[in-house]
Structures are given as structure tokens and as C-alpha cells.
Amino acid sequence: MPSFDYLVIGSGIAGLTFAIKAAEKGTVAVVTKRELAESNTAWAQGGIAAVWSDDDTVESHVADTLEAGAGLCEEDVVRGVCEDGPACVEQLIALGAQFSARDGGSGYDLALEGGHTHRRVLHSADRTGEEISRALIAATRRHSNVHVFENHLAVDLLVDQKFGMARTHPQCWGAYVLDTRSGEVETFTARSTLLATGGTGKVYLYTSNPDVASGDGLAMAYRAGCRASDLEFIQFHPTCLYHPDARTFLITEAARGEGAILRRPDGSAFMLDYDPRADLASRDIVARAIDQEMKRSGWDNVVLDMTGLGADFIRQRFPKISERCASYGLDITQTPIPVVPAAHYMCGGVVTDVHGETAVGRLYAAGEVAMTGMHGANRLASNSLLEGLVFAHRAVEHANMVIADSDGDVPHFPDWTAGDAVDIDESVVIAHNWDEIRRLMWNYVGIVRSDRRLARAAARIAMLRDEIRQYYWDFTLTRDLVELRNLALAAELIIRSARSRRESRGLHFNADCPDRDDENWRRHTAV
């Protein structure tokens, strides 16, 4: 029974930042279901927003975030993150993260993205996530107190009350963890556990997320007794590459910040028809505009025109996008890029306090899996890495205090038992259910929703969850089965949240109640 002071589930910016800081106080296990570098963080192109120039202010960053959040941000949380952000970014730089400098090398090249009124986005060309991930992984590998378990998937959390251990307040002491290579389930115990598992992008048929984003942390926390909130607010990134051979490749919002223009396939620009900020409107507005243009005309896509930026600038500022598009035969210096919206970010999540602690003691959540109050009904571009970074620092400081103030040993938990389960003999059923969930979510719980579509989604997901529940108990665990179980629960929670909100706000648009209702619905939903 592996035992540590801290258990970190996930290996993005939140998880590894927490692990590096926690290792100064005790032993840390980092559990990640594939390799350390496989995370939503590593796929981030745009950058990390922070007040970094004399022309910018915390008040401006707060105001932009509140404006994007459509009335549901918690202002004290937003202000705290914007204030703490620069110092946390400085620590990230001290760990080795390198951001793009201005021409001439005097200071950082700060990008402008949709919804921001100032240039405040630090980036590493268009590979920001890769660079942050590289620096954090290197720092993690250097620390002898950090033990990394790749190809390990957390199955469920160890909550004392669920095992009959009487307490006035439930506490988490680790997790059951599946070694996806051997098939064995181990009991990892810890005095403090952080969920940093990312979001739920794979719930949808089209997503900018990697395959690991299957809602594992949300599902585990919900089963453990945590509250989840605002799950109806799924951000669809407006611009993902549309190509028969491309898969989940994002075209960063920074392209529009630098002057790229969204056009219809006939060449006419259209964003000014929807918002006075045109191509720099917030993501919810841009995604709905593209969706409406495609549905109105029957087009399969719109195009993002970068050709006016100049070939040399495009290749220097967006090398990754240039290279990837070129691999599909697209010269973006000469030809507009075909794009469509795709599921990108979960603005809701597991409810935490200002320290990142959930309703279950010793259990923390940070990054996309958490609902801290930062993003409200629509996340401002490049605030995601910032939130994950700041709350990782807060969570580890609080966890250190809890551990220091507590007495006694970690409770003993029973080993995992598979009972009468047998090996899966029909993997095609899992694959079919996975595909069906993603299609029904895309068709019925997408950018534009309706009461009828949501009702159909709820009925179908209930049937699928019954099938999956039976499979879960009848067969020995595999990564696909554990992920499918989590994916189905995450889908159900998103549907329940969407059905409960009787208005349209931010990222949630219901055609049967299309207006914003501040009198009755300027509040969070909860499941």
C-alpha cells in the first residue's frame, strides 16, 4: 500500500506546480494516466494572462474578466487571482519557463486576445503550453521527494465516511489507482489529495482537448460527495482546424488578436454583424456567430484569414500553426484556414473555496476540474493557466497547514477486490457507448440547446449509464472502461445543469429561453 504525504492526480500546470511546492515539505506521488506531458496544459497555444506592463492594471484585468463572465464571476476571487498572478508567474519563470521576448529583447512580447483591453498575455510563440509543461516536468524530475506514476489512472477516492469510519466531516485519504499496463488496482494513501485532472472535452464529438480529458476528476469528486457547479457553461473554442485528416488541432485566439479575420467561404467578413468588437469579441459570442453562419448557409466551415499579417510575421509568431497546416497542404500565408468551433473548456467544475479545498476535507481541486468562481459563465482567454497556477499555490499552502495541525496515522483502507468480475470479451460495446455519448452531447447539448434536445439527451444518457454501470461491476477494470464510466457521469451532470438553467447567459444558450434573466438567474447552479 503506497503511502505519501501528498497525492496529486494529474500532471498539468496545477498538478505539477502543487507537487513541486509540496515536495519541500514531504513525499509526493504524481499519478497521471499516460505520460507526464500528456495534459491539457501541454496543448495550450495562446498563453497565460497576467498584468505585466506599466500600461496595464489589475483593475483592468479584473474588469475584463468580470465582463466576460456575464455576471457570474465571484469578484473577490477574480481580484485575488489577478493580484496574485504576476508573482506566481515569476515563480514559474524561476523554474525555467521561457516566454517570447519583444524584438530587440527588451521585455516580453505581450499578446492581445479576445475580451482583453490590454496586451497582457505572456506566450512562447504558439507553443506556450508545451514550454510550461517542459519546465514543470524538468523541475518535477529533479526533486527526489516526487514519485511519478505514469500510466496510472485513479479509479475512486478514499473517503473515510464511505468506509464506515465515523467522522463529523468526511475526509479524503488517497485513491484506488489502476496500473493500466498490469491491470492491477493499488491503494494509494495520502494525508492530502489534489485533483488536477483537467476537464471534460472528450464528452463531445469535436474537441480541442487531448484524449485524457474524460471528466475523471469531476466524476470521482461527485461520487465522493463533493458539489459541482455551473457545468452548463462549456466553452466552445471558435477556431479549430477543419480538415479531413486533422484531429483536434486548435488555431489560437491570439491569431485574431494579431489581426486575423473570420470570413464566410465567399470571402466576406461577418463578425461585425454580431458584435462591435468584431473578431475580438469574447469566445461565446464568436462561437455562436460561427455556428449561426454555418447553420444558416449550410456551409461545413468558415475561414480564418491571416494572410494580411505578412508571411514572415506569421511564420515567426505562429510557427506551430504554420507547420501543422503545411503538413495538410495549407499555406496559411497565402490561403485562409478552414475552421469550426469545438468543445474546449469546462468553466464549471468541483466547487472549492478560496484555498482550493472541496467539501470533503483534505481533498483539493485546481485547474479546469475546479469551480473557484473565477470564470463565471464564460472564461476570458488565457485566464485558465493563470487560475490553475494561482490555486495550486494556494492549495499546497493550505494542505501544509492541515497536515501540520493534524495528529494520528492515515486510516487503514481495504485492498481493492474485483469480486466475480471477468475480463471484458466485447470491447466493441465500450467503443460504441463512448461514440454514442459524444454524438448525443454534440447534437443535443452543444453551442445552441433547446428543451427538447436536452430532454432527449437526459433520457438517452440515463439508459447508457445503466448499461455502463452493469459493465463496470461485471468486468475487470481497463482504462477504457474507467474512462467511459466517468465520461457518462460527466455528461449526465452537464445535462442536468443545462436543463436547470431557465435563461441564456454566457456559454449557455437555450433557444426556448433565449434572454438573460438577472432577476432570477444571476446565481450558480449546483448538483
Cβ density class 211-222: b for 16+ within 10 Å, e for less: ebbbbbbbbbbb
Q: Which of 342, 371, 394 is the last residue of a domain?
A: 342
- Asked whether the beta carbons of 449 and 504 are under 8 A apart, the reply is no
- Asked whether the beta carbons of 171 and 224 are under 8 A apart, the reply is no
Q: Which pTM was predicted?
A: 0.92
CATH code of the domain in which 324 resides: 3.90.700.10
How many CA within 13 A on the CB side of residue 140? 27
**To which H or E segment does residue 471 belong?**
helix 451-474
Do both 227 and 250 map to the same domain? no
The stretches of 175-334 forming alpha helices (DSSP H) are: 216-224, 254-257, 283-297, 311-317, 319-327
Query: Could you report the per-residue pLDDT of 6-58, keeping only the tens digit for each?
Result: 999 999 999 999 999 999 999 999 999 999 999 999 988 889 999 999 999 99
pLDDT value at residue 264: 95
In sequence order, which residues have a C-beta less than 8 Å from that of residue 412 and are 6 or more positions away?
none
Domain assignment present for 421 = no
Distance separating alpha carbons of residues 214 and 208, to the nearest angstrom: 13
pLDDT value at residue 254: 87
- Domain residue limits at 83: 3-232+347-405
pLDDT value at residue 419: 81
Domain assignment present for 220 = yes
pLDDT value at residue 12: 97
Q: Which of 342, 366, 396 is the last residue of a domain?
A: 342
Residue 102 known to be catalytic: no
**To which H or E segment does residue 210 belong?**
none
Domain assignment present for 416 = no
Do both 38 and 174 map to the same domain? yes
Do both 273 and 151 map to the same domain? no
pLDDT lower than 70: segments of the chain? 104-105
Do both 175 and 319 map to the same domain? no
Do both 239 and 320 map to the same domain? yes
Q: Which of 294, 327, 342 is the last residue of a domain?
A: 342
Do both 396 and 458 map to the same domain? no
Do both 334 and 356 map to the same domain? no
Do both 351 and 328 map to the same domain? no
Q: What is the dihedral of CA 418, 423, 428, 433, to 10 degrees?
A: -10
CATH code of the domain in which 93 resides: 3.50.50.60
Do both 216 and 246 map to the same domain? no
Domain assignment present for 397 = yes
For residue 100, the Cα-to-chain-centroid distance in whole angstroms is: 24
Domain assignment present for 413 = no
Question: How many structural domains is the chain composed of?
Answer: 3
Domain assignment present for 267 = yes
Domain assignment present for 268 = yes
Distance separating alpha carbons of residues 197 and 189, to the nearest angstrom: 18
pLDDT value at residue 8: 98
Do both 192 and 312 map to the same domain? no
- Exactly one of 120, 191, 263, 283 is catalytic; which is it? 283
The stretches of 128-240 forming alpha helices (DSSP H) are: 128-142, 216-224
Do both 42 and 122 map to the same domain? yes
Rounded to 5 degrees, φ, ψ at 5 are: -75, -40
Domain assignment present for 161 = yes
Distance separating alpha carbons of residues 330 and 323, to the nearest angstrom: 9
Do both 160 and 246 map to the same domain? no
The greatest distance separating any two alpha carbons of the chain, rounded to the nearest whole angstrom, comes to: 70
CATH code of the domain in which 503 resides: 1.20.58.100
